[in-house]
Structure 1
Amino acid sequence: MNNLSNTILKAMISYNVGDPKRVQHALKVYAFAKSIGELEGLDGNTAEILELAAILHDIGICNSEKKYGSSAGKYQELEGPPIAKKILLDAGAEQAVIDRVCFLIGHHHTYTEISGLDYQILVEADFLVNLYEDGMGKLQAQTVLQKYFKTKTGKEYLTEMYLQSEAEE
């Protein structure tokens, strides 16, 4: 993890003070995104954008719940980018990085017209964690795999975690 990622991670934890569930979720999504990105061969700049977006992807939940009484994806997408922008600006991120990270945060629950491998991997990493945290079954995991997963690594992770039993290995 580079210095910018560490700074953003620290800021995300501070922003979510008293809410370990949100912090734990972000860390899990970050870990999957980083791993998939590395195994899929992302270049350094794209990997950095992906990792920052993964750390901050749900940063809008608190405001969504306050404003709308809901943490629905559409509200996260509205509320997240302004918060992320401030955090990234305060950390000294470059404008192009800020713009792309905010775009990804503003679209991470929009599964149509996914543009870019960073976007695809963020969606996959979030699904990998949400499948577990939301207690979804094999049928839901199979549907998610068929509808939304494109990377070789993401498909392997989902299949091995949710669709295979130890007896099948």
Structure 2
Amino acid sequence: MIRRTPMKPMNEAEFAKKRDEVLQAMIAFDAGDAKRIQHFLKVYTYAALLGRQEGLPSAVQQTLELAAILHDIGIHAAEAKYGSPAGIYQEKEGPAPARELLENVSGIPEDMIERICFLIGHHHTYKDVDGADYQLLLEADFLVNAYEDGLSPKALTTFREKVFRTASGTTMLNTIYGLPE
């Protein structure tokens, strides 16, 4: 797949307003599900921080942040349709509601929406990672899932070796979980 990154980022004030609209819309989308709201807020926070630490270009940073907010938008549909929140089902069911939500926030560029939907449709796929936004979304989601799932140090180390590729993500994982480098 050809990687599509917006050629021109939104200015910071414009992006901040749109990001907050997306945050509010996603909180409303998951209303009554505090666990999932807490999850995406944590993933968003890690993704935004890691992207800044990696020095992402503005357009890529903006895409990463919006994708992190929306990454699990397909969980409810996956549970309803397949009786499971498994990653493969989230990837199938997430892009359509994400696109609808993003299109309701005026002014988000179409190429950014396409990339966000691609990331949502692949956020549990660890091969053929085609960009820093994709890599950092995987890493940020894992930082949260590792805690929520109570993973062992051995599982953390194995995942780090197989999936983590960025210096900031690896340092964050090691620091949070006290892993040896």
TM-score under structure 2 length normalisation = 0.89
Q: Structure 2 counterpart of 1:148, which letter?
A: V
In the alignment, does 2:91 pair up with 1:77? yes
For residues 20-169 of structure 1, the aligned pairs below 5 Å read 20-92=34-106, 93-164=108-179
Distance 1:129 1:110 in 2: 17
Instruction: Give unmatched runs, 5+ long, in structure 1.
Output: none
Q: Structure 1 counterpart of 2:18, which letter?
A: L
Instruction: Give unmatched runs, 5+ long, in structure 2.
Output: 1-14
Residue 163 (structure 1) shift: 3.3
Which segments of structure 1 move beyond 3 Å, counting only runs of 4 or more?
Answer: none
Percent of aligned pairs sharing the same letter: 49
RMSD of the TM alignment (CA)? 1.0
Q: Structure 1 counterpart of 2:19, which letter?
A: S
Distance 1:102 1:163 in 2: 34
Report the secondary structure of 1:123's partner residue: helix
- Asked whether the equivalents of residues 141 and 163 of structure 1 are also in contact (C-alpha less than 8 Å), the reply is no
TM-score under structure 1 length normalisation = 0.96
Distance 2:149 2:41 in 1: 16
Residue 133 (structure 1) shift: 0.3
- Asked whether the equivalents of residues 77 and 106 of structure 1 are also in contact (C-alpha less than 8 Å), the reply is yes
In the alignment, does 2:18 pair up with 1:4? yes
Q: Structure 2 counterpart of 1:86, which letter?
A: E
* Equivalent pairs, count: 165
Higher helix share goes to which structure?
1
